[in-house]
Chain A
Amino acid sequence: MRTPRSRRVMLATALTLVAITPLAACAGGSPDNAGGAAAGTDPETFTVMTANENATLENLLTTLSEDACKAENEALPLEHQKVAQADTVQKVTLLASQDALPAHTIAGTALIRPDGDLGAADLVQDLMETGAAEYILPAAASTEESVYGGVVSMPYQYNIEGFWYNTQIFEEQGIEVPTTWEEFLSVAEQLDQAGIQPLTTAGASGFPLTRLLGMYIFRNVGPDAMAAIRDGDAKLTDEGYVAGAQALADLAATGYFGEGFSTRDGDTSTNEFLTGKAAITYDGSWLLGAINDPERNEIGAENVGFFPFPEVEGGEGSIEQYPANAGAPMIISTKQYGPKVADWVSCIAENYGSLALQEAGVISGFEVKEEVTDISPNTAEIQEKIAGIDETVLWFEALFDPKSNSLASTNVTLLTTGQMTAEDYMADLQESIDANG
């Protein structure tokens, strides 16, 4: 007879705790980490694990440690660890299971969602409860919430995506920027007939191709197209979704991407565009680094323009909805989120936005607190566009489980080389989502 009473007591205690927790969270912390209580224990160093492929982030954090965050660095020295981006999930999983997760680390998208391995183990610090909250741009926070289910990644990048084009070629050919998919195909055809390779893409990576497929779906079905797949309200085999795969397959079949596109890597594709060999490429605003580099950009930064993915006639989506992402996830470990780490987080959030823009021309999801000089016109244009965006969409695989994510990228080569039909591509993917999602 004691059990029901014990249950009642437990329930009352739980409800009290639930009621108290938000109050405690709202109560705030010390002035140094004004965003919230640092409940973890500070490590001996502020270890940051970044991807081998991202040297910029390591360099900028080192610059902060020597300048704006010098005091934080003296209290808790910065230390770098590196990992190959492809090995991130494996390494982070092992480190976390051994209670050796660095204070600040790169992680896999699926790992840090509330139901992901790190999220479920309560190892991912909610940044809205830290001093970083006030410096994270609302657009970046909104994108993170859509992808990760919370603001848990330091937005060292804030990218929008679209088509970059060679303005000189467009002018010479008397071409207007297309606003619909039909117009886009006409532009590509006109360029092709003029003996100019219309498009280039890094087919070897897979995702640049699925981006096109996904954007067609967002324009055709609407901005919630992929959330509907995640929630089981729609299937990839539905007509509107298959149309996206078919549009990509048809585009690839025209030969507009040029010879050998499915084994072309990222650097080669970028070079094809920046040397004037191809007129258009779909890419993220991270391409600004290469565009602003006179050694790489032979066509000149003044000859590079940007237009959003066109609308699909009769579709539910709008050309104003830009695809956006906040770069690779960089989380703070809750276990190591002590007062000193909290100071570091606040300091980075306060100063990174200006530093990244000034030193590397990188647009981040942090507020730019100080005036930045000598910003390139291309960067300024993108920055202006980002400021004016009301609604963003994600990318095709953003809400997929890791297995389906990988399948989408690998099978797209079969789709774009005519070895798999649009229906089969989507059916395989839906099967994978049903089995693993």
Chain B
Amino acid sequence: MSLDEQVLSYPIPSDAALEPPAEWAELRSKCPVAHVTLPSGDQATLLTRYEDVKRVLADPRFTRQLNAPDAARLSAEGDGVFSSEMAQIIPDGGDEHQHWRRLVGKWFTAKRMAALRPSMEQIAERLIDDMVKCGPPCDLKAGLGFPLPVYVICDMLGVPAADRERFSYWSDALLNLTRYSRAEMEAAQGEFFQYMSDHVATKRAEAGDDVLSELIAAGGPEDGGLTDLQILVTGMALLVAGHETTANMIGKMVSMLLADRSRWERLLADPSLIRTAVEEALRLDANSGFGLPRYLRDETEVSGTVLPRGTTVVCSMAAANRDESVFEGAAEMDLRRSPNAHLAFGVGAHSCLGQALARTELQVVLEVLLRRLPSLELAVPVEELERVEGLAVGGLRTVPVRW
């Protein structure tokens, strides 16, 4: 049976942790608008071509909120971050969204992120010191990939990094689509809400040098600022977004570069390739997670297929990023690729707010690792790397390395 006739289960499993499922190429060429069944059992439409994914994500008519009665549910236990009541506190479109985006986005500009470089480098150095004390071998994810972005986002939000175990649990509970029961997800969300509510109250009483204090200082809606509830939910969203995403990407990026060690050696010989190498790792990440769902409030046409109003679409940026009609040698890792207009951070008005932060962190980690541990290599055959299952954001369980 061809892909046109069957209904695929989504997400599509892959045999190898760093490689895409074979179905992607076939979907792009033969069935770019595919029917899929989500973990909830609901039907959705999967898009895998670059132009289609880009157009749907950039179209302001389509919402990221899946709260309409006929929207597909992602998982049977609720949709975590995608349909929670909290997600509705942050404006979804139009002028209100742009206002929110600009108020928060100003704290994530390229220049501000560049100013954080020295402190990121220090954190990376310190974490690598600890890795060197207890290894080799060592799990690069636990030792470096996970803690670094967490320290950075905690610092930006003025929350104590000592509470990071709790943040990790709450993030996981919000982002994992299959691991937790509805009751567990709701309890985690409630605890997290209370924690952030107390934190915002503390900042209101005594401002610190952090993004939440700045958002409070901007005043309420009457002064052009955000409501208390919006500040609180923004804090939660930033903390979650700053956790699993880059944390997992560090491990995946290093694994991709070490899977064929000539890549690592090319970077050692020419560190000026770090910027484009990071972009290429983002493009080629075959395990980037669920993709981005969109609910169509209006009928639209994609690759010649009419999608009726009320359709839930899943945009696979990772599949789109391997579209041969856009990227020459799409399956090859080209550390010099430029321009590299991949869709790893989405596109348009809702593209990742923290992308300059993520890019800076990935570049800094790579720079410091190349300098400190030039002999780095995977401590297991690449075939033994295992994916974390169920996360909205994909990752590897562990990244065993030696040097």
User: A and B bound?
Assistant: no
